[in-house]
């Protein structure tokens, strides 16, 4: 019993000091905040720590979109996510990670501000995503194309939005991962706006049938919930 207790304590100490393990447990706020603290300290100690910078930006995106109830706190976290992403882009300008997570945090921050104030982020978001796309179109299973597809869906037409381009980018993203829950959900939403509800229903059913990605299980669970709810409205 004593040996077992010692092993348990040693494992807890290992996990406590491993931000990657803590990030995998990000649905627990204590784990997410502990990982945030570790990566933040590492980046403060070395401004060119690329891995800590982009992982910190990714985690702050999670915290900003899943954590705080307060809009002001959400904005603060996402602004710090943008700072971390910029540090990653400076540390390694030839990698897509910093640009992609910069765009992700900006997009969430734009949503938090609302349409009128959030529109100021539209050009920087697009530029960051196009940079990530040029560097590596296959990054995170086609995430630059998926995010650009979402950009063209959400931005008003007068400011550059285009549902046809949204569909094109989302279908391109699906060539990298045909069973991506998030890409299928976003495609369905675009198709609904294009008044192609039969195709949208097919995409939603595919999203619900897709296996969860082990790296993105918390996100896939949430997106499947949205797909399930949206499916009830598609006739």
Mind listing the domains of the chain with CATH numbers? 28-136 (1.25.40.10), 161-235 (1.25.40.10)
Phi then psi for residue 184, to 5 deg, are: -65, -40
Query: What pLDDT sits at residue 114?
Result: 78
Q: Give the list of residues 6+ apart from residue 178 with CB closer than 8 angstroms, or none.
A: none
User: What pLDDT is attached to residue 116?
Assistant: 66
Dihedrals φ, ψ of 213, to 5°?
Answer: -75, 125
pLDDT at 107: 95
Residue 67's pLDDT is: 77
Of the candidates 89, 107, 171, 96, the residue with the CA atom closest to the CA atom of residue 139: 96
- Which pLDDT belongs to residue 17? 79
Phi/psi of residue 154, nearest 5 degrees: -85, -30
Enumerate residues 6+ apart whose C-beta is below 8 A from 196: none
CA distances from 48 to 102, 128, 174 (A): 16, 19, 33
DSSP readout, 19-74? HHHHHHTTTSHHHHHHHHHHHHHHHHH-TT-HHHHHHHHHHHHHHHHHS-SSHHHH
- Predicted pLDDT at 113: 83
Q: What is the pLDDT of residue 119?
A: 79
Residue ranges in the chain whose pLDDT is less than 70: 1-16, 115-118
Two tokens at 104?
């992700």
Pair 200, 234: CB distance under 8 Å: yes
Give, in order, the Cα–Cα distances in Å from 176 to each of 33, 106, 141, 144, 179. Answer: 32, 24, 5, 11, 9
- 113 in Cβ contact with 126 (< 8 Å): no
């Amino acid at each position: 019993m004593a040996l077992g207790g010692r092993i348990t304590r040693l494992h807890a100490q290992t996990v406590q000091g491993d931000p990657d393990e803590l990030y995998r447990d990000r649905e627990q706020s204590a784990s997410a905040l502990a990982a945030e603290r570790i990566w933040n300290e590492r980046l403060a100690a070395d401004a060119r720590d690329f891995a800590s910078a982009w992982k910190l930006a990714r985690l702050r995106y999670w915290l900003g979109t899943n954590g705080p109830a307060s809009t002001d706190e959400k904005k603060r976290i996402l602004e710090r996510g943008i700072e971390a992403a910029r540090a990653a882009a400076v540390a390694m300008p030839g990698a897509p990670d910093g640009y992609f997570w910069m765009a992700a945090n900006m997009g969430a921050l734009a949503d938090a501000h609302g349409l009128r104030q959030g529109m100021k982020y539209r050009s920087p978001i697009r530029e960051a995503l196009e940079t990530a796309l040029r560097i590596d179109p296959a990054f995170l299973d086609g995430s630059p194309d998926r995010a650009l597809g979402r950009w063209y869906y959400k931005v008003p037409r007068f400011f550059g939005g285009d549902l046809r381009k949204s569909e094109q980018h989302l279908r391109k993203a699906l060539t990298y991962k045909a069973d991506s829950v998030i890409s299928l959900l976003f495609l369905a939403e675009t198709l609904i706006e294009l008044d192609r509800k039969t195709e949208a229903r097919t995409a939603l059913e595919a999203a619900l049938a897709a296996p969860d990605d082990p790296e993105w299980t918390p996100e896939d669970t949430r997106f499947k919930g949205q797909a399930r709810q949206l499916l009830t409205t598609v006739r």
